[in-house]
Structure 1
């Protein structure tokens, strides 16, 4: 059972034997609301060599992790953040949010507010279409939980183009008998969020706060909303890495936290077992973690494990037989690659012992993780010429009318003007400079949903000259999974500016935003 931070620090054994370990950790290595003791892998029967091999694999295969936390028996045996990501920052969870939404339904069931066999339409009679099909009438809460609503395809696209997502969900054709046909459907999870709000009068986030987040000492969570202010449910939750680990440990402990049963153990078992056959991935079942079955917004994994799972590698992997929780945040185009690395390196490390030298090598590696800086040279013959010059930009769909770059030593300032607003971004040359920006995040989004108080958003920026005429800027939105690049190319008094978002880089596609043309004043 993990101790809270105060109780843990009171233990004299830690204060003496482990004081040097704690003092050697960087200030960002222990996140706010820390619940877990820190120890070495070997102290919990895990080889440091296996964990080091995991890190080397994800880096060699360019799986683009942002953070990692590994727990065994309620203790953190490895943790690290690839700079500029850091422990005190939240991170977008994408569909890992679904497992938290499922947990809210578990609380509601335990409070006898509903049953999983209840028909979903019975809670929203005012949103029913004029003609209700037999399949729609038969759809249960359980069918939403298990992604077996009977729809042929995900409903998220069509419902998110409207201003009333609940009404639009019920208007979608239900081609199959609910409970008999699986398709991954974030719109179904959204409906679970809408159901919680309908039943309780509270947003999903507010409902979960006293029941889940407060007992686990999770603070600062936020969640995206639809046009009517309903939390999106299927995506959009933001938490810190250790917050995700707390959630995984709670499930590993069958719903018990510091001696109190927060969620019934029966619900944990029901939610995390395979309720339906799942689909996904492009490999055979024996090597495919998307074909192991689906529970209540949890995926089954190989090795008798289960996981909460979000796009681009947001993972909360629970391995009961090894008493382990593995958490990653990421922007990876190869999610199966991350899971393969867990099974190939972390799992076999259990029950093995590593040397003191490897243990120190792992510790050093974990405290020096970093994503690549913008590649290129720190200076160019154009640096002095370009610095301070305003670039007047021709009319464009983004509404950007003026750009300015100012260089000062190892720092630079990017100024972007659109309409009456001026966006100022501070960047580092040869390092990540932390700051914030009021630039809209529309280009980085997969849906229309927004965060309350979304702007300004935290940012880490670096730049370099990719050649003598081109200055390249990387803008990492460090509480999301994504980044943006801006390429400023100068030919005489003409300037060409091109944005490219990280999703386009991962997919090897062109960014839909137009190339901007301008002139130096």
Structure 2
């Protein structure tokens, strides 16, 4: 046997050992929770057979956790709901909440420009690019098309040629905008967005698994001087954040996020080319097609199938997670696409309708 083949075999055996330890020797002790649960799902108006059909579909796709909160209580909880995993682009909706708090204080104004904030990058911005408003960045329409951290191959390929669109005139899902918003927040508040999220949102609403050690600034200086701000969070803490929005920013008598900002940020602000399901708000996705538009749904969505879908018309929060933490993720599990996620959500909604 060649040395190369022997090395590959050893690597394979080590990987199997790591997987064995992770699956079989991890602590499976159930964690306590302050969430209330519906004790009688049928009495709450849901059809058990239809929910079982939804569960079978859930088990046929690659989701690793699902939670549904109905009327403020847990209706169902499937999979590893306490595991803090990469939130991916759901992080952007977390930052939207922080901006809402600071906009009400007067720390920022939507009409302030990149020039006002003193923003630049390795490649200097033009005067036209510097004229982009804060509102343009929040709706991913800055017109600045420079390399950015956490920018996927597909995003790089789709990035428009620099200077092809004026600020505020064209939507492009742009990590440069999103990362610069993190820089603007930290410099404008003279604070840290992770600490502010923890103190102003996570603690007041009782997130049970989130810790500051689950956050990270990712610097990719070859691309941009503006780092990505990454969160790891559990499904049940995703659900807390969704419930906070469903309650219009209020939690146990305290207004955590301004009600006006929640309404404004989850409304249509940019049309998304080639997307028949959603338009874009201020770092939130807004449903445009029936039945979800009719249910007033808006969503925080991340790569591989992460989502917090908020449905005010049903008093419901739906959370879907795909655990991508492991470096083995691309080899052991694939993503859940939007159509699969929404099909699962539709099956759950149908379970309510069929029993009404």
Q: What is the rounded CA distance, in whole Å, between the counterparts of 1:317 and 1:158 in structure 2?
A: 23
| Partner SS for 1:189 | helix
Alignment partner, residue 298 of structure 1: 284
Alignment partner, residue 472 of structure 1: none
Query: Contact (CA 8 Å) 1:105, 1:192: kept in 2 or not?
Result: no
Pairwise CA distance, 1:141: 0.9
Instruction: Provide Cα deviations, 1:370-413, integer angstroms capped at 9, x if missing partner.
Output: xxxxxxxxxxxxxxxxxxxxxxxxxxxxxxxxxxxxxxxxxxxx
Q: What is the rounded CA distance, in whole Å, between the counterparts of 1:184 and 1:207 in structure 2?
A: 25
Pairwise CA distance, 1:129: 7.6
Pick one of 345, 349, 352 that aligns with 2:351: 349
Q: What is the rounded CA distance, in whole Å, between the counterparts of 1:44 and 1:323 in structure 2?
A: 12
RMSD over aligned Cα, in angstroms?
2.7
Alignment partner, residue 76 of structure 1: 74
| Partner SS for 1:156 | coil
Pick one of 158, 174, 177 that aligns with 2:166: 177
Query: Contact (CA 8 Å) 1:307, 1:316: kept in 2 or not?
Result: yes
1:230-269 aligned within 5 A: 232-233=228-229, 236-269=230-263
Query: Contact (CA 8 Å) 1:67, 1:79: kept in 2 or not?
Result: yes
Pairwise CA distance, 1:155: 3.6
Alignment partner, residue 300 of structure 2: 308
Query: Contact (CA 8 Å) 1:39, 1:75: kept in 2 or not?
Result: no
Number of residue pairs the alignment of both structures matches: 297
Q: What is the rounded CA distance, in whole Å, between the counterparts of 1:106 and 1:45 in structure 2?
A: 35
Alignment partner, residue 199 of structure 1: 188
Pairwise CA distance, 1:158: 9.4
Q: TM-score, normalization: structure 2? A: 0.76
Q: What is the rounded CA distance, in whole Å, between the counterparts of 1:307 and 1:157 in structure 2?
A: 23
| Partner SS for 1:64 | coil
Q: What is the rounded CA distance, in whole Å, between the counterparts of 1:159 and 1:333 in structure 2?
A: 19
- Structure 1: gaps of 5 or more residues: 1-25, 161-171, 355-521
| 2:126 is the alignment partner of 1:133 | yes
Query: Contact (CA 8 Å) 2:218, 2:227: kept in 1 or not?
Result: yes
| Partner SS for 1:312 | helix
Instruction: Provide Cα deviations, 1:224-274, integer angstroms capped at 9, x if missing partner.
Output: 2133997623xx211111100010011111111111111111100011111
| 2:320 is the alignment partner of 1:328 | yes
- Structure 2: gaps of 5 or more residues: 1-27, 153-160, 323-333
Alignment partner, residue 88 of structure 1: 82
Q: Following TM superposition, where does structure 1 have runs of at least 4 consecutive aligned residues deviating by more than 4 angstroms?
A: 128-132, 157-160, 228-231
Relative to structure 1, the CA distance from residue 207 to residue 58 in structure 2 (aligned partners, 3 Å threshold; closer, same or farther) is: same
Range with bigger deviation, 129-138 or 250-259: 129-138
Query: Contact (CA 8 Å) 1:249, 1:325: kept in 2 or not?
Result: yes
Q: TM-score, normalization: structure 1? A: 0.53
Alignment partner, residue 157 of structure 2: none
Query: Contact (CA 8 Å) 2:66, 2:81: kept in 1 or not?
Result: no
Pairwise CA distance, 1:150: 1.4
1:375-414 aligned within 5 A: none
1:118-157 aligned within 5 A: 118-124=112-118, 127=120, 132-151=125-144, 155-156=147-148
Relative to structure 1, the CA distance from residue 27 to residue 150 in structure 2 (aligned partners, 3 Å threshold; closer, same or farther) is: same
Alignment partner, residue 23 of structure 1: none
Instruction: Provide Cα deviations, 1:53-96, integer angstroms capped at 9, x if missing partner.
Output: 22212333xx2011010011101010011xxxx33320111111
Name whichever structure is richer in helix by fraction.
2
Alignment partner, residue 268 of structure 2: 274
Tell me which structure has the larger Cα radius of gyration: 1
> Structure with the greater relative contact order (CA < 8 A, sep ≥ 6): 1 or 2?
2
Relative to structure 1, the CA distance from residue 237 to residue 191 in structure 2 (aligned partners, 3 Å threshold; closer, same or farther) is: same
Name whichever structure is richer in strand by fraction.
1
Alignment partner, residue 98 of structure 1: 92
Pairwise CA distance, 1:211: 1.0
| Partner SS for 1:36 | coil
Q: What is the rounded CA distance, in whole Å, between the counterparts of 1:298 and 1:157 in structure 2?
A: 20
